[in-house]
Structure 1
Amino acid sequence: MSDSPKPTEIKLHKKSATLEIGFDTGESFTYSAEYLRTHSPSAEVQGHGPGEEVLQLGKEDVTIEKIEMVGNYALCPTFDDNHDSGLFAWDTLYDLGKNYESNWKRYLARLEEAGYQRKDLSK
């Protein structure tokens, strides 16, 4: 775990509802609040084992109220829908950044399979 990428910079952008994290690898990722909320490592989202994931609906306009450091290994964001039980370890955040495109496509496909129509927030 000691050679896992570590954040060098963490910025919460409340207006755009994004979290920007720079890592010691030189890479930087920007995560939407919706992406973090729907991919939270919490049991509420992930379930208690493989195949128990709970599809998160209606999170298009969720925002991050605050972020708290948890020791030297994780962040705990509090979302405006009162979700605050996801501990995002550095390696989880790095993985979410590296695999954003495939994770997001899979999430959108799952929403479509469930018959859920995402709100268009650009209006």
Structure 2
Amino acid sequence: MAGLTKTSPTPESLTVHGQTKVLEIGFSDGAQFRIPFELMRIYSPSAEVQGHGPGQEVLQTGKREVTVVDIEPVGNYAVKPTFSDGHDSGLFTWEYLYFLGDQQAALWQQYEDRLQAAGTDRDAPMPGKAGSSCGHSH
């Protein structure tokens, strides 16, 4: 896996908290993160969210109440969550989960800035059918 080195922290615990809507993850370097499901969903590493290249990201809205209904391991390097809105095409590597946990404050600010630039807010419904602008089946 590109970017994953022998020195990269690996998860030692992973708990899905349905009530508080967070993924709690503890890493081998001692780092502990509580990553909100909403943050995971809006920064999903899938093509549906990230697009197929720089500048093609799809701004995600209306995800405040999203939950993780299932999470499955992918090899020894990632997990694949299924969200309550049906989104299930994002593979969250350990490195990416660490990044989300470590950079939460900056990512929330970036999201707020993108919402403001788009003239919308985080609770606005997603326009159109999810994934319809992509043209690829995932």
TM interval, short-chain normalised: over 0.9
SS at match of 1:10: strand
| Alignment correspondent of 2:127 | none
**TM-score, normalized by length of structure 1?**
0.93
Larger radius of gyration: 2
The partner residue of 1:17 within 14, 21, 30 is 21
| Structure 2 match to 1:52 | 56
In 1, the alpha carbon distance for the partners of 2:77 and 2:121 equals 36
In the alignment, structure 1 segments of 5+ residues that lack a partner are none
After TM superposition, the structure 1 = structure 2 runs for residues 32-47 of structure 1, keeping only pairs within 5 Å, are: 32-47=36-51
Cα deviation, residue 5, structure 1: 1.1
Distance across 2 between alignment mates of 1:6 and 1:41 = 19
Letter in structure 1 aligned against 2:53? G
- Give the RMSD, CA atoms, in angstroms: 0.9
Report how far residue 60 of structure 1 moved: 1.1
Once the two structures are TM-superposed, the CA of residue 87 in structure 1 deviates from its matched residue by 0.1
Determine which of 54, 61, 65 is the counterpart of 2:65.
61
Deviation at 1:2, TM superposition (A): 2.2
Q: Which amino acid aligns with 1:65?
A: V
| 1:112 and 2:116 are equivalent in the alignment | yes
Identity of aligned residues (%): 52
- 1:85-112 CA-partner distances (Å, limit 9, x unpaired): 0000010111111111101100011111
Q: Which runs of 5+ in 2 are unaligned?
A: 124-138
* Alignment counterpart, residue 96 of structure 1, candidates 97, 100, 111: 100
Q: How many residues align?
A: 119
2:23 partner letter: L
Distance 2:122 2:92 in 1: 25
